[in-house]
Structure 1
Amino acid sequence: MFLLLIFLFKSDLSKSEAETRNIIIPALEKATFFLANKYRDINLDAVLGFRILQAHLKGALEKWASKRELPSQQAQVKSLVKKLSSLIEKASNSLGQSDPEYFKEFEPILGPHFWMLPRSWNQTDASLAYSTFDSIDCFTEEMSDKCFTYLLGTWKDNSKSCIVTEACRNIMTKFGCSDYSLSHQLFYFMIADMKGCSDHLFLAAQYYKNIFCASMMKINLVIESNGFRFSSRDLFMENIMFCGMSGFSDFFKPSWLETILTWQKPKEGCFGKPSEDFEHSSRVEGQEQLLRRVKRREKVFADGCSSHNTAVAVGVLGGFLYYY
C-alpha cells in the first residue's frame, strides 16, 4: 500500500508538471510573436531577456532528452528555440546599428552560450534577509553598468576582463540595498560566474547570493501581500529571474506563475501596463514613453507593451519551464 501511494504521488506530480508546461509553452509562443513584431525597436534588456529564455529552453530540452512521453512539448520548444535564434540575431543587429557603443559594451551577455543554468537547487534562508532596507538607491545604473563592463572586458577596446575596482567592490557588496540596486548586485556576481572570474571576492559569491536572494524573497513577499501593484511587478519578476538562475527554487512558486501569466497581454503577447491604465496614462504622457530614471531598463510602446516587463517575464517563464 505504501509503495502504491508513492507511485500515485509521483504520477500526480508528473501530471501536474506536464500541465504546468502546457500552460507555459503557449505563453512563450505568444511572447515570441511580440518579438517578431518588435525586434527592430526593443531595447538591450529585452534582447537579453529573450536570450535568457532561449538558454532555459535549451536546458529544458537537455533534461527532457530521455523522456519519451513529451514528444509534442519537445517539438514546440525546439521550434521556439529555432525562431528565437533568428529573431535575437535580427534584434541584435538592429541594436548594433541604433546604439553601437552601448551595444558593444554589453554584447557578450547577448551571446548564445554566455548563460549557464543551475544543476542543483537551494532554498533561501529568511534569517539572512536584511531587517531594514536603504530608502534610496545604493548606486546609479551608470555606476553598475561600468562595473559590469569591467567584468566583461568591454570598458575599452582590447581590455582585460574580470577587473574588480575598489569602487565596484564597495557598491556591489554593500548590505541593505533594495529594489534594482539589490538585483544588480546579484547580477554582478552572476556575470562573474559566467566569465569564470577568479578575484578573491568571488570566492565568497555564494555567501553574497544567499544574503541577496533571501532579501529579494522578502521584498517579493511584501509585493505579494500588497496585491502585486503594477509599479512593483517588474522588480518582482526580475527578482525571480535572477534568483531562479542562481539556483533558489523557492522563487518558482506555482501561485506566482499563475499570477504572472495573467499579466500577459493576450493579443500582443507582451507584458506591460493593463490596457485601461495605459489608455489613461498615454493621454497624459504621450503615445510612447521612455522612463528617464533608467537608461536602458524601460521602453513602453504605443500599445502599452513594455520592453523590460516582457524581458523579465519571458526570463521568468523560461525559468519555470526549466525547473519543472
Structure 2
Amino acid sequence: MASLWLPFFLVLIAPPPMRPSSLPWQDTTEGKATIAGQILSALERAAFFLEERLPEINLDGMVGARVLEEHLRSVQEEWAQDTLLQPLGMRVGTLAAKLEALIQQSLFYLRQSDPEYLREFQPTLQPGFWKLPHAWSLTNASLVYPTFEAQDSFSEESSDTCLVQLLGTGTHSSQPCEPSDACASLMTKPGCSGYCLSHQLLFFLWARMKGCTKGPFRQSQHHIRVFCANMMDLNRRAEAIGYVYPTRDIFMENIMFCGMGGFSDFYKLRWLEAILSWQKKQKGCFGEPDAEDEESSKAIQYQRHLLRRVKRREKQFTDGCSSHNTATAVAALGGFLYILAEYPPASRQQHPSTLPPPRR
C-alpha cells in the first residue's frame, strides 16, 4: 500500500502541552450534531472530489472511501434511533450510498491502470472487510520505544509482499494468514516509525479482520498496543512542529488505523479541528498546502524530494490534491463520526480535549 517517508527530525521534538479546542464540546445531542455537521460537510465535499477525479484515483484512495463507507453505515444505524439526529442520519445514508457507487465504478478504471495491484488488494475494497471496534481503550505511554530506527530501512515492496501473503492473494495459490518467517520478523520488528510503523499495525489489523490466530498472530493485541502507543507519540510530535505538510498524511493515517484498533484517545477535538482546516474547500481534496511563506515552500520542496526517492503508487495532482492524503483524511474523519455516534451525551464539569471511551 502507498507510503511516504516521515522526516526523521520529527522524532527529536518533544511532545507539546495539551491545549483546548475551539470546537464545541459534544456533551449534548445538540453539541454532537454541531460537530457531526461540520465533519459531514467536509466529507460531502471530498466525495465530490472523488467523483470528479474517479478515473485517476488509485486503489489506496478508494480504500479510504471504503473505510469511510463502513463508518457511515454504522453511524446511520445509530442515529436512526434519535429524533434530533435523524436529519444528519439521512445525510450520512445518502453519502454512504454515493461512496458505494463510486467504489464500484472505480473498479473499471483500476483494472485498466493497475490490474495486478487490484487483484492483490481487492479484498480491502469489499463490503464488510473492514471491521469497526466495539471496545475501546487508551494508549499506554510506557510502551513507547526509547529510540527509533532510521526510516530508510523501510521498503514498501517488502511490506506489500507481506500484506499479500496475509491476504492470500498471491499468484502462487497462497493461503491467508500464513506469512513467511521473514514477514513475521519484519512486521514485529521494534523501533519502527512513520509508515514502517503504520504498515506493521495494518498487518495485524488485517490479521484480526481475517480471523488469523496462529503464529505471530497469537500476540496480535500486544503488537497493536505497542504500535499505537508509538503512533500516538509520533502524532504528538507532529503536532509539536505545527503539522508541517510532510507529516500530515501519516498523522491522519495513524488516527485512521489506531481508531480502528479501538484507541479512543486518537480522537482529540483539536486534531479534528486541524484536519478540517487542511481541506481545500473549493476542490474538496486534501493535499499540498498553498505555499504562503518561505517555511511552507521549503516543506513542500522537501516532500517532493522524498517522493522522488520512493517508488509509490501515490497520485499527486497538479493542483496540489493528493489521492492518498484525501483517503487518510476521509477515513480518519469517518472515525470521528463513528465515535461521536457511539459516545453517549452526558453533562460534565470539565471539557477534556479527547473523547473518552464510549460505553459499550
- Establish whether TM, by shorter chain, passes 0.5: yes
- Cα deviation, 1:58-116, whole Å, max 9, x if unaligned, reads 11112223222212101101100111111111112211121111110111111112111
Distance in structure 2 (CA, Å) of the matches to 1:290 and 1:88: 27
Q: Are 2:148 and 2:191, in contact at CA under 8 Å, matched by a contact in 1?
A: yes
State the AA in 1 paired with 2:105. Answer: K
Residue 293 (str. 1) matches residue 310 (str. 2): yes
Partner residue, 2:319: 303
Aligned with 2:331 (options 289, 307, 315): 315
Contact 1:234/1:312 (CA < 8 Å) preserved in 2?
Answer: yes
Give the direction of change, closer, same or farther, for the CA distance of 1:319–1:70 in structure 2 (3 Å limit).
Answer: same
CA contact (8 A) 1:57 1:77 kept: yes
Pairwise CA distance, 1:306: 0.4
Corresponding residue number in structure 1 for 2:242? 227
Q: Distance in 1 between matches of 2:161 and 2:61?
A: 20
Give the deviation of 1:13 after TM superposition: 3.5
Q: Distance in 2 between matches of 1:12 and 1:191?
A: 33
Instruction: Identify the range of structure 1 (130-139 vs 25-34) with the bigger mean alpha-carbon deviation.
Output: 130-139
After superposition, the C-alpha distances for 1:243-285 in whole angstroms (9 at most, x for unaligned) are 001000000000000011000000100001113369979xx99
- TM-score, length of structure 1 as denominator length: 0.91
Q: What is the SS of the residue equivalent to 1:69? A: helix
C-alpha separation in 1, matches of 2:47 and 2:253: 19
2:205 aligned residue:
190
Aligned length: 311
Q: Please give the secondary structure, in 2, of the residue aligned with 1:102.
A: helix
Deviates more, 1:272-281 or 1:213-222: 272-281
Structure 1 portions without partners, runs of 5+ = 1-9
Match of 1:216 among 231, 238, 241: 231
Q: Structure 2, unaligned stretches of length 5 or more?
A: 1-24, 341-360
- Indicate the residue corresponding to 2:8 in structure 1: none
After TM superposition, the score normalised by the length of structure 2 is: 0.82
Aligned equivalent of 2:105, options 90, 93, 113: 90
List per-residue Cα deviations over 1:1-57 (Å, max 9, x = no partner). Answer: xxxxxxxxx984333222110110000000000001011001111011111010110
Corresponding residue for residue 38 of structure 1: 53
Percent identity over the alignment is: 49
Distance 1:60 1:291 in 2: 40
Higher helix share: 1
In structure 1, C-alpha distance between the alignment counterparts of 2:210 and 2:108, rounded to whole Å: 23
Q: Give the aligned residue type for 1:187.
A: L
Instruction: Kindly provide the CA deviation profile for residues 202-244 of structure 1, in whole angstroms up to 9, marking residues without a partner as x.
Output: 1211101111000000000011011110111111111111000
Q: 1:318 to 1:160 in 2, by over 3 A?
A: same
Deviates more, 1:87-96 or 1:207-216: 87-96
Matches of 2:26 and 2:200 in 1, distance apart?
A: 40
Q: Quick one: structure 1 residues 207 and 137, their matched pair in 2 at CA, closer, same or farther if it must change by over 3 Å?
A: farther
The match for 1:52 is 67
Which structure's relative contact order is higher, taking Cα pairs within 8 Å and 6+ residues apart?
2
